[in-house]
Each structure stands twice: as structure tokens, then as C-alpha cells.
Amino acid sequence: MSHLVHRSLRSNPPLAVSGQGIYVRDAAGHTIIDGSGGAAVACLGHGHPRVIAAMKAQIDTLCYAHTSLFSCESAEKLADKLVGHAPGGLTHAYFCSSGSEGNEAALKMARQYFLEIGQPQRRHFIARRQSYHGNTLGALAAGGNAMRRAPYAPILSDAFSHVSPCYAYRDRADSESDADYVARLAAELEAEFQRLGPDTVIAFIAETVVGATLGCVAGVPGYFEAMRAVCDHHGALLILDEVMSGVGRCGTMHAWEQEGIRPDIQVIAKGLGGGYQPIGGILVHGRVIEGLNGGSGSFMHGHTYQAHPVACAAALAVQEVIEQDGLIANVQAMGRLLEQRLTERLGNHRNIGDIRGRGLFWAVEFVTDRATRTPFDPALKLNERVKREAFDRGLACYPMGGTIDGRLGDHAILAPPYIVDAAQ
């Protein structure tokens, strides 16, 4: 029996012993293609020599420095790299150790911003159903994944309410155009602002491209512009969670670049450090920083391991490799190839209802019948079977499914590393 608390207490997963490029080897000698980088994490694959060298150099020089006493070079350089050129007006970065922590920081900074600018009555967040923002209590309360929320419902904050996601495959009526669908979703968000009291809302939070709970679902054209407009109208902030979809994964550095809008606070994590170190963070618009500066002049939220020197050195090296090797262009090219191959091989399969994604972030949705879009019976645990069958054939992918938010649906995500080549 393992003494480690695994995701299941009843079975032990295979023991991973080494990784190189897109491959992971387990103790039984299997070589597996890491086809989803875990949960869209390993953006450079495994064992990248430049990242490892940067981490070693940092460890040799400075392992740790507490941020109440010091800053460190790797954190300063990482912030410069990410927001030195103020993309979308984002001017500051805060680094923590995971996506969940990033969302906690985003929620708290948004609340503090309104306190500092004299709007303490703002206490509500509007999020979306079938979303995931992390497992810590604030992030879990923001998330709309009913299955993950259920056991903890009594201890989740009631500051969060949820509106519909933009999920055209299942929710756009046949008679509706994209514009009609967007107008309906904008009206729903507006109604939620009105129900809560428009000047009591802190922010609307959404994943730019929904990851685990829907499977690589982007908004239809105009969706994010409409959501941004509702937030702007009521003076609320827009928080975009790009923990999965950001840092190049969707074929642009930030997934929001493809939406014609910009966030006030953006959360990033997985592709930031590529799995080489645990690191997440938020990128913050100058307007929010000015608000904090005009008040207490501090962000009242500290972690012992925030801006950790080795984590920041790893992330800096990952970002330099992405830039120097032109990997976002490779994400675009390999993404087009992946889409083409998925469409050719699976596009007419009777059990594939939808193939969707951006960049190197693709999902297939499984149905019993393409015409009726009928999902599988959750009792079949299709996601478990897909995971096992793919694994037995040498592919690790990221299937999710069963009942999500009281609705049925199964999908599997493919999110290969940005270094993948056409033959692989």
C-alpha cells in the first residue's frame, strides 16, 4: 500500500520514472506520449536542457529569499518579460505557486481595489457554470463544477453566483445566429448584475477558453466583447482565467488577444513554468495598481513562497525558450495539423459529436449519436475507459466527463507540448 494520498485511495497510478521531450517512461518500461502535458502543463515537454540549466544556476546562487525582506533577480526579470511591454495595459505581475493561488490572488486584489477606491459596497463576483478555477476555497466557490463543489458546498462563500457559459455546441439554438446567442448571454449577465445590484459587483470571472469542465470551448465571435461591455457599463472588473489556455497554448501569448478585448486581471499558471517548478501568477492592469497605490499602497495578500527564486528562474527560462525558438508559431502550425488530423480521422465517427479548440489545445466530445448529440450514460465512466485505452496504446490524454454541473458530457483534451513536430 502506498502511504501517499493519491487521487484514488483504491489504486496506485503507474510510477513515472523519467521524461524526455514529449515522452514519459514508467517503472514498468512503457513509453507514453505525454499528449496533454498532464493537464496542459508541460508546454516544453520534459528534460529541456536550457530550463534545467537555469534552475541549477539559480539553486547554486540563491535558493530562497522572503519577499518581506528581498526581491530577487529571476522574479524581476520574469515580471519584465511578461508585462514590461504592458500587453493590453497589464503592467504588473504577482507570482505564487499554482493556478488556484493565482485565482485567490485575483479575487482578493479585485476586492481590495474597490475598497481602496472608495467602493466598499462591492462584494459579489459573477462566474460561469461549468467552469473551473481551482480547488482552494475561494477558487472553488468561483468555479461552477458542481461535482467538485458539492462536498464543500456548506463552506463555500456566497459571494459568488453563476451565469451560463458560452457553449455553442450544446446551448446555441439552431435558430440562433452567433449574434443572437451573444445577445442572450449578455442579457443574462446584465440580469445578474441587476439582481445583485449593479454597484455591488466586483468582477465577472471566466476562462477565456474553457479547459477541463467543457473541453477547449472558446466563446463565439463577439462573446467576450459583449461581456466586457456589460462589466464596463457597471464599473466592474473582468478577470480572465488563462491558467490552462494562456501563455501560448492557444496560439497567441494570451488567449484574450484573439477576442478583441483585454482583462483587468489575468490569471496564468500551467504554461508559465511548464511543470519545471510549481508557479502561477496574475498579470494586473495599470488601473488596478493605481487604485491600490492611491490607497494603502500595498496588496494585503502574501505567501511564504510567492515569487520564489527557483520557480521564477524556471519560468523565465521557459518563456525565453518559447520566444527564442519561435514556439508560438509552432503551436499555430502544429495546431492546424492536429485539427486537420483529428477531423480526417474522427470527423465522421458516429461517437464524436464535436472537435474544437485553438492552437495546441483541442478536445473531442463523445456522444452516442451525432445527430441527436446524446451523451453517454455516466455509469459507463467513458472518461476512465478512454484514459485507459489511450494509455494502453501509448498516449496520455486528459479525458473528463460524467456529470458536470448536473449535465451530461464526455470529452478528452489533447494538449501536446509546443515543441511537438509533425511526425510525432
Interacting residues toward ligand PLP by CB under 6 A: 39, 98-100, 103, 132-134, 207, 211-212, 241, 243-244, 269, 280
The smaller minimum CB distance to ligand PLP, of residues 211 and 219, is found at 211
Q: Which residue is nearest to ligand PLP (CB)?
A: 99
Residue type, 143: G
Helix or strand or coil: residue 282?
strand
> In the β-sheet with 398-400, what is the strand arrangement from edge to edge?
352-358, 361-366, 410-414, 398-400
Helix or strand or coil: residue 33?
strand
**Alpha helix stretches (DSSP H) within 47-177:** 49-61, 73-83, 99-116, 137-142, 146-149, 168-171
Q: State the nearest-atom distance from the C-beta of 7 to ligand PLP, in Å.
A: 12
Spatial separation of the C-alpha atoms in residues 108 and 194, rounded to whole Å = 23
The smaller minimum CB distance to ligand PLP, of residues 244 and 367, is found at 244
Q: State the nearest-atom distance from the C-beta of 414 to ligand PLP, in Å.
A: 15
**DSSP category for residue 13:** P
The smaller minimum CB distance to ligand PLP, of residues 74 and 245, is found at 245
Q: State the nearest-atom distance from the C-beta of 48 to ligand PLP, in Å.
A: 20
The smaller minimum CB distance to ligand PLP, of residues 19 and 278, is found at 278
The H or E element containing residue 73 is: helix 73-83
Q: State the nearest-atom distance from the C-beta of 194 to ligand PLP, in Å.
A: 28
Q: State the nearest-atom distance from the C-beta of 102 to ligand PLP, in Å.
A: 7
C-alpha cell at 53: 540549466
C-alpha cell at 355: 472537435
Spatial separation of the C-alpha atoms in residues 1 and 363, rounded to whole Å = 35
Residue type, 314: A
The H or E element containing residue 400 is: strand 398-400
The smaller minimum CB distance to ligand PLP, of residues 42 and 196, is found at 42
Q: State the nearest-atom distance from the C-beta of 98 to ligand PLP, in Å.
A: 4
The smaller minimum CB distance to ligand PLP, of residues 251 and 271, is found at 271
The H or E element containing residue 386 is: helix 382-392
Q: State the nearest-atom distance from the C-beta of 302 to ligand PLP, in Å.
A: 18
Q: Is the dihedral of CA 257, 41, 38, 306 positive or negative?
A: negative
The smaller minimum CB distance to ligand PLP, of residues 127 and 364, is found at 127
